[in-house]
Amino acid sequence: MIDLEQVRKVAHLARLELEAGEEEQFTTQLNSILEYVEQLNELDTADVPPTTRAIEVSNIHRADQLETFGDRESLLSNVPDREDDFIKVPKIMEG
């Protein structure tokens, strides 16, 4: 079971700001989701390797060949704030 403290921690890790009411609401909701998924534990999976992907492939590579992305401006024009060629971000540390 997940408690209020854990919900707060997860919210902090995801940089989400939650209102007091939302914290309560998400604790309840997350718990019912976890309970639902918990049903899977009825199966014995001790000898089953974990599935991490939907498709069973391995060793997909590309050659080390240069291809320049042609439209740099379209990428940079997406950012909220710029200073010339740089992307401008708020200050990182208080101090």
Partner 1 sequence: MRSRFVMTSAAPTKTQYEAVIGLETHCQLSTETKIFSPSSTAFGADPNTHIDPIVLGMPGVLPVLNQRVLEYAVKAGLALNCQIAPYSKFDRKQYFYPDLPKNYQISQFDLPIAEHGWLEIELVDPKTKDVSRKRIGITRLHMEEDAGKLVHAGSDRLSGSAYSLVDFNRAGVPLVEIVSEPDLRTGQEAAEYAQELRRIMRYLGVSDGNMQEGSLRCDVNISVRPVGTEKFGTKVEIKNMNSFSAIQKAIDHEIDRQVAAIEAGEPIYQETRLWEEGSQRTISMRLKEGSSDYRYFPEPDLPPIEVAPEQLTDWQAELPELPAKKRSRYETSLGLSPYDARVLADERTVAEYFETVVQLGADAKLAANWITQDIAAYLNAEKLAINEMALKPEMLAEMIQLITGGTISTKIAKDILPDLLTEGGSPKAIVETRGLSQISDPKQIEAIIDEVLAAHPEELEKYRAGKKKLQGFFVGQMMKRTSGRVDPKLTNQLLSKKLNS
- Residue 90 binding partner 1, by CB under 8 A: yes
77 binds partner 1 (CB under 8 A): no
By C-alpha distance, which of 32, 36, 30 is closest to 18? 30
Which range touches partner 1 (CB under 8 A), out of 16-24, 28-36, 37-45, 72-80? 72-80
Q: By CB under 8 A, which span of 9-17, 18-26, 30-38, 40-48 interacts with partner 1?
A: 9-17
Task: Give yes or no for residue 86 binding partner 1 (CB under 8 A).
Answer: yes
- Whole-number Cα distances in Å, 21 to 4, 7, 13, 87, 95: 11, 12, 19, 36, 32
With beta carbons less than 8 A apart as the criterion, state whether 75 and 69 touch. yes
Under rule CB under 8 A, how many of the chain's residues touch partner 1?
Answer: 35
